[in-house]
A and B are shown apart, each in its own frame.
Chain A
Amino acid sequence: AQSVTQPDIHITVSEGASLELRCNYSYGATPYLFWYVQSPGQGLQLLLKYFSGDTLVQGIKGFEAEFKRSQSSFNLRKPSVHWSDAAEYFCAVGPNSGGYQKVTFGIGTKLQVIP
């Protein structure tokens, strides 16, 4: 069965600093990978997704993520964090196959941005 690990429950960064949120997955083949964001009091929104092709994917709000098959990782990055990026971030994995296609979420990483 697929699974997702987000090892950092809570991260604090200074505004303007770079950010990397870690995500590791377990799946027998190349999966579909997603990052979602939930801002305070807001619903969940898709940031970016990887299905195939270029392993570096660009998303909204200046975020990017890189799929590394050898490390079973899909880390989220942003070169310069803004105060509005404070939110909870969820990594998710889904099977790259037909039939049963349930997506599994990680437990989330809460990002705090300090001045």
Chain B
Amino acid sequence: GAGVSQSPSNKVTEKGKDVELRCDPISGHTALYWYRQSLGQGLEFLIYFQGNSAPDKSGLPSDRFSAERTGGSVSTLTIQRTQQEDSAVYLCASSFLQEQYFGPGTRLTVT
């Protein structure tokens, strides 16, 4: 069956521009996570959506980062006024019974 998909796979943007990263989770998965993985680093938790509950935004590094999940399905991570330190791979995972299924990630490069 279809797994988690993310788009775009690669994004190069200029410093100061806004970017939107999209995640299409596995149908029926009620939980969704966003992570950031910088070069050679582990997983940095960003945000967690579970059903209709208020999202856990405790991992968002600044107010330039925001995310939404529409209709309990597709999620969009938005980074405003991008900075060079935002360059990383952004991973999305949807979850069922706490088991996470990861997408391939979006590699963001801020020049």
Main secondary structure of the interface of A (DSSP, over half): strand
B84 CB–A CB distance under 8 Å: no
**In the complex, which residues of chain A have a beta carbon less than 8 angstroms from the beta carbon of B98?**
32, 34, 94, 101, 103
Known contacts A100-B53, A102-B56, A104-B45, A34 near B91 by CB under 8 Å? no
Q: Which single residue of chain B is at the shortest CB-CB distance from A103?
A: B98
Main secondary structure of the interface of B (DSSP, over half): strand
- Return the CB mask of A38-64 against B: 1 if under 8 Å, else 0: 000001111001000000000000000
When A and B form their complex, what is the total count of cross-chain residue pairs whose Cβ atoms lie within 8 Å? Answer: 46
| Chain A residues bordering chain B, tally (CB within 8 A) | 21
C-alpha gap A53/B78 in the complex (Å): 42
Most B-side CB within 10 Å, residue of A43, A88, A104: A43
C-alpha gap A108/B44 in the complex (Å): 11
Task: Name the one of A34, A49, A90 contacting B42, with C-beta atoms under 8 angstroms.
Answer: A90
Task: Name the one of B53, B100, B103 contacting A46, with C-beta atoms under 8 angstroms.
Answer: B100
A-B interface, 4 closest residue pairs, ranked by CB to CB distance from nearest: A108-B42, A94-B98, A107-B42, A44-B102
Known: A49-B99, A102-B50, A106-B42. 12 other contacts (CB 8 A): A34-B98, A34-B100, A43-B102, A43-B104, A44-B91, A44-B102, A46-B99, A100-B50, A101-B50, A102-B48, A102-B56, A108-B42
